[in-house]
Each structure stands twice: as structure tokens, then as C-alpha cells.
Structure 1
Amino acid sequence: MADKSLPTSNSDSIDEALHRLSRKPGVKAWLMLDRTTGAVLKTNGHISSIRPARKTTGSQNSSANPLQIPSSGSFSADVVPSESESEAQAAQELASLVWNFITSAGALVDDMDSDDELKLLRLRMKKQELVIVPEAKYLLVVSHDTPPV
């Protein structure tokens, strides 16, 4: 994905750090989200291996699916999305889930102590772990294999 909002002075060092991160053993994928909107800025890896994109149909109504996913287009019920469209949709859906999670976690921190701030979230599941690092302009979400106990 193209870099949409990072300044060029920091962009090279961020890109190098993300490239090194991608080569770490166990890292499945990462997403970089805009801090203010939750929009996907960059991705790497197979997001659909973390969470496959949900099939979209024209007959779904918004009340049955409370998760609102921003997208630039829609798929009809007769069209099978290509692999890149499926990856993009999976990235948007995961970004929306993470955005809701970090918003809730941030509200919890504010309720506990308004002078404190959220620094890191780790969500460990049976098959993988998500590490979410909020920065000033973006959120970094890294998915990696869960190490054996």
C-alpha cells in the first residue's frame, strides 16, 4: 500500500524498522493505521491468514452487522473478490476491529486516570498474538505466532 500521511524525514526510518520487523520469526503480518481515523495506511503480510475477510452480499442490512467498515467500493453477491481485494477487505475489517478495541481500551485508561495514556496492548489468543502500539500519528498492529508455553 502507498504511504498516505507519514512525513518523508521519518518515513525512511519507519520503513526500515517495519522491514526488519517483517523478517522476524513468527511475524505473520502488520498493519499501520491512522491514529485519528483508523484508516489503513500500510500493510505487510497476509492479513487474511489472521482473519479472513467476511463475504459481503447485497442482501445484508446494516442492523445485522453492527461493525461499520469503511470501504471505497462494494461487491455484489455474484462477484467473487480477487485475492488482492480479499486482502484489502480483510485489512479494513481487522483495522475496524482493532480501532474499536483501542478506543475502548483508551476510554478505560481515561476513566481510571485522566493523566495517564495507553502505551501498549497485547492480545494473546490460542493461535496468535496481536501487539498494538499507539504512536502520535499512527497505530502499529503486529500479528505473530503465539510461542509455545
Structure 2
Amino acid sequence: MSTSQPQTNCYPLEHRAMIFRRVFFMFHHIRSKLKRKAIRTMAESMDIRGVCKPGYPGFLYVEGEDSSIRLYVKEIKRMKWQSVEVRRNVQETTPDDVCKNKSCKKETGRLGGPFTVIEVDTSEEMSKILRAAGLGEFLRKAMTGSHD
């Protein structure tokens, strides 16, 4: 009689692939300092990175773990806005080998740096950041309403 245990597909959490999501919002405007602070602090508490262009119109790009982004989107939509639209919402799965250590959240995504949403003054500045992160095509599709 064998004493070995049957193999399963259960791996420690740090060895599982991560479902990752990126979302691009367009707002009529983002002016309120309280909303701008909420955009940033919610991202920080949920391990999300992003870029926000306040003003008229307002734009917000965020990326992070799928469950965190879904909750973030829900909270953003719950706020009172003249108009808010999710222009692009893309999910991907990170390969297992990317998530072999506990810093998986820090290693995924295109934006570097701390978990927060940075503010920029112009759409051009936001575009440069996203293009430099390899998100030019994502941005183009978000702005034109193209679908995959």
C-alpha cells in the first residue's frame, strides 16, 4: 500500500497565475479635490497603479489584480459624476512563472512605481506615459472606441 498522497493541481497562492485587468475611464470632468483624492487613496489601498488627467474631459487609466480592479471600478461608478464611461476594460492572465514569488503584484502591469494613481496636467502627458509603458494600442482603442 502506497503512503504517498495523490497529486493535485493545488499550488501555494504565490505560484498561481494572476488574473490582471486594465481599465480606461472617460469623464465629463474630474474637478473635485475630494474625488481626486479618493481616486488616489482607493488605488493605494487596493494595490492598483494608474494615471489620471483631471479637468475637462477627465481620463483615468488603472491596472491591477482583477478582483481589486473590479471593486475599484464599482466604487468609482458609485461616486456622483456628470458622466463616466468605461472606454476599455481588458483582462489577461499572467504566466505562472511571473508569480513564483510573493511580489507578483509588484512585478505585473506596465506601470512601474508605487501603488497609486499619479496625476498629470495634460492628455498629451498621459499619452506619453501610457505609450512609454507599451500601452499605445490600448490607449488608441480606448479613445476611438475600438474593440478587440
Normalising TM by the smaller chain, what interval? Answer: under 0.3
TM-score (norm: length of structure 1): 0.27
By relative contact order (CA 8 Å, sep 6+), the higher-ranking structure is 2
Asked which structure has the greater CA Rg, the reply is 2
TM-score (norm: length of structure 2): 0.27
